[in-house]
Amino acid sequence: MKKRIALIFALLAVGCLSARAQEQETVEIPAAVDSTLLGRSILSVLGPGVQVNQSAEVRQALDEYVRANARKSIPGFRIRVFYDNGPQARAKSESIENALRSQLNVAVYRSFESPNYKVTVGDFRSRDEALRVYNLLKGTYPTAYIIKETINFPR
């Protein structure tokens, strides 16, 4: 008897939840925006025909927030495209850096930690964001790999 009552309550609960879910409006979730939008306003990702009405104070507060956090760093991911210490490593890292800057709209970093030259790409907050760009690069740079690193605050 107790099992039947519990089953009836469970079926009623499921029925109420599904009826309530049908009442709510379905909202389409936009695709995740990655952090490769450096230099662009967050409002620029809105689709065509979307208009945002806001006061000048709101825009000014958003710009000030971005400026204040521009020098902060957070944990994230980058793609290591080049890592070498050979005699031509410096010249090769420079050419790879220049090629990536012209090819992608992503931050490119070249560094030297004795004795290695390194070229890394991007400021990605998640591994998924980095993986999207990695898939574009792996044909040209087969030795590229994703690393966990401290990244610049997204702009």
Provide the pLDDT for residue 77. Answer: 95
User: What per-residue confidence (pLDDT) applies to 9?
Assistant: 61
Q: What is the pLDDT of residue 7?
A: 60
The upper half-sphere exposure of residue 32, i.e. CA atoms within 13 Å in the direction of its Cβ, equals 10
Position 116 scores a pLDDT of: 93
Q: Residue 32's pLDDT is what? A: 41
> Which residue has 């009405």 as its token pair?
53
Tell me what pLDDT residue 25 has.
35
Task: Give the per-residue pLDDT at 54.
Answer: 81
pLDDT for the residue numbered 29: 31
Helical spans, DSSP H, in the chain:
2-23, 56-69, 89-103, 127-137
At 33 the pLDDT is 42
What letter would DSSP give residue 59? H
pLDDT for 40: 60
Tens-digit pLDDT string for the chain (155 aa): 666 666 666 666 555 544 444 443 333 333 344 454 555 666 666 777 777 788 889 889 988 887 887 778 889 999 999 999 999 999 999 999 999 999 888 899 999 998 999 999 999 999 999 999 999 999 999 999 999 999 987 65
Question: What CATH number labels 74-152?
Answer: 3.30.70.1070
Six-digit token string for 43 = 């409002």
